Amino acid sequence: MPTCRGAKFKEQVFSLPGVSAAVVTLTAILVLTLILPNYTTSKAGPEYTPIQLIFVAVVCLVLYGAFVMVQTIRHRDFFLPPDADGDEEVHAEPPTNKVALLSTFLLLLCLGIVVLLAKALAPDIENAVINFGAPKSLVGVIIAAVVLLPEGLAAYRAARKNRLQTSLNLALGSALASIGLTIPAVAIVSMVTGMTITLGIDMKATVLLLLAQFTIMLSLATGKTNILQGVVLLVIFAVYLFTIIAP
């Protein structure tokens, strides 16, 4: 998000405590779900045993639940943008219970629609990828992009309006929810159906993931961003896509 409006606003600011909380939680979930399975020894391969999968699923729920509590209750001000007058110390009033419940319902409804849409599009996307001659692993990337598209667009629009705090809340919150809630869901499916879930990513993806997280931590360490950090992150993402197509 720093890239999209960094050229206009030169430098954008955000609440460091709020972003730090999100990045720390996201890093822990990423390592536990995508990297650690490659190094456990109870079962060969990048997979967890059933008991390990259940434990990690519970851990993901605990981490995500703790983050939501911090974001919405204990340290809500860390995640709020300034008020309409631009005063950094004055924030808007919390939404009413009615608004919060309605927003929750609409969020779940829209999430269900997006997931169903992604499922419906999956066969056509897979055929297009195969016809293009690209690896099937690209299908997962495209599906993930479809699922995250609404939050991504909302974060982009917020950044265009120089509301970087809101943009980061949307982007990091979406990543946390996508992983922190998906792992428990697939764990339940695995237990019920007996399916084997492969979580660990390969070494190439691990290196790029760690590079991206390291870059994010350095970029967001000062509470200010500019166009350079955004360009670096976009390049890392482009390298990831390129190495999927041309491994």
**Other C-beta atoms within 10 Å of 3: how many?**
17
Helix (H, G, I), strand (E, B) or coil at 13: strand
Question: Which pTM does this prediction carry?
Answer: 0.79
pLDDT category at 33 given cuts 50, 70, 90 is very high
Q: How far apart are CA 54 and CA 18, in angstroms?
A: 29
Q: How far apart are CA 31 and CA 175, in angstroms?
A: 14
Number of C-alpha atoms within 13 angstroms, CB side, residue 17?
10
**Other C-beta atoms within 10 Å of 99: how many?**
10
Mean pLDDT of 198-218: 90
* Residue closest to 244 by CA, chosen among 129, 133, 138: 138
Instruction: For 153-165, write each residue's pLDDT tens digit.
Output: 888 888 887 788 8
Residue that wins the pLDDT comparison between 75 and 38? 38
Instruction: For 45-102, write each residue's pLDDT tens digit.
Output: 788 998 999 999 999 999 999 998 888 877 777 787 655 444 445 555 667 788 878 8
* Residue closest to 31 by CA, chosen among 199, 231, 164, 242: 199
The pLDDT assigned to 85 comes to 47
Q: How far apart are CA 48 and CA 36, in angstroms?
A: 9
Which tokens belong to 165?
Answer: 């705090």
pLDDT category at 25 given cuts 50, 70, 90 is very high
Q: What is the DSSP string of 97-165?
A: HHHHHHHHHHHHHHHHHHHHHHHHHHHHHHHHHHHHT--THHHHHHHHHHHHHHHHHHHHHHHHTT-HH
Q: What is the DSSP string of 152-218?
A: HHHHHHHHHTT-HHHHHHHHHHHHHHHHHHHHHHHHHHHHHH----B----HHHHHHHHHHHHHHHH
Instruction: For 98-149, write each residue's pLDDT tens digit.
Output: 887 887 788 778 767 776 777 788 788 888 888 888 787 788 788 888 778 8
Number of C-alpha atoms within 13 angstroms, CB side, residue 208?
18
Which tokens belong to 198?
Answer: 């492969």
The pLDDT assigned to 239 comes to 94
Mean pLDDT of the chain: 82
